[in-house]
Amino acid sequence: MLLVSRSNASYHHGDLVAALEQAAFELLAEQGHASLSLREVARRAGVSHNAPYHHFGDRSALLHHLAEAAMSRLLAAQQAALARAEGADAVERAVALGVAYTGWAVANPNAFAVIFDPAVCVPGQPTGAMGPLIAENERILATTIKALIGSDAGDGGIASVVSWSSVHGLAQLVTAGHVPESALEPAVRAVMSALAGSGHRAA
């Protein structure tokens, strides 16, 4: 008797894409993206091995989709943190943003890794879906840091780079086990407080 897994015909289009994405993220969390395959995703989702190809075309397209979805989740975590910190002073809002970024990265290390893999997301060449996500991430960072250092501080671009580099590096160090997770919030606070106290107003 021929054993047939659940067919993609049993899904509506959007449901199948969602099922494939969920399966891909489960596998990503377990093993990272280096060995992730469309066949594995199909098996995990319980659909025919050809089903993913109708939506992703090839493995590269799947990885691009995962990176875009992961970036969307990272951005949402930061937006939610800023919303919770509404009304707080500039230092607290900057800390909230940094802790959200590092916290999400540490909780989702393999998803974080696929976002910043230059073989997947080529620097300076974002996909059509990734471009707006990057732009919005840069916007909320720039706005938060400008409020932190003060509007009279001139171009806050370097301060944004300093803050991003610091929290990004911190996330990678914690993920790799070189720094304890308990250091996240104090370290982020130290970075943001230093920027606020570097001769510019903090609120």
Mean pLDDT of the chain: 90
141 CA to centre of own chain: 14
Q: What are 178's two structure tokens?
A: 């070189």
The structure's pTM equals 0.88
Sign of CA dihedral 106, 188, 77, 145: negative
Long-range contacts formed by 3-9: CB under 8 A, 24+ apart = 4/48, 5/43, 5/46, 5/47, 5/48, 6/46, 6/47, 7/47, 7/48, 7/51, 8/47, 8/48, 8/51, 8/54
User: According to the model, what pLDDT value does residue 179 have?
Assistant: 97
Q: Which domains does the chain have, with CATH numbers?
A: 10-57 (1.10.10.60), 70-196 (1.10.357)
Alpha-carbon Rg for the chain, nearest whole angstrom, is 20
User: According to the model, what pLDDT value does residue 154 have?
Assistant: 59
pLDDT at residue 152 above 70?
no
User: According to the model, what pLDDT value does residue 135 have?
Assistant: 97
Q: What are 198's two structure tokens?
A: 């570097």
The Cβ-side half-sphere exposure at 68, using a 13 Å CA radius, reads 15
In contact, 150 and 201? CB cutoff 8 Å? yes
Give the separation between CA 159 and CA 153, rounded to whole angstroms.
10
pLDDT (tens digit, 9 = 90+) per residue, 190-199?
999 999 987 4
pLDDT at residue 81 above 70?
yes
Q: What are 194's two structure tokens?
A: 């230093």
In contact, 114 and 70? CB cutoff 8 Å? yes
pLDDT (tens digit, 9 = 90+) per residue, 95-141?
999 999 999 999 999 999 999 999 999 999 999 999 999 999 999 99
Cα three-residue angle 125-106-169, rounded to 5 degrees: 60
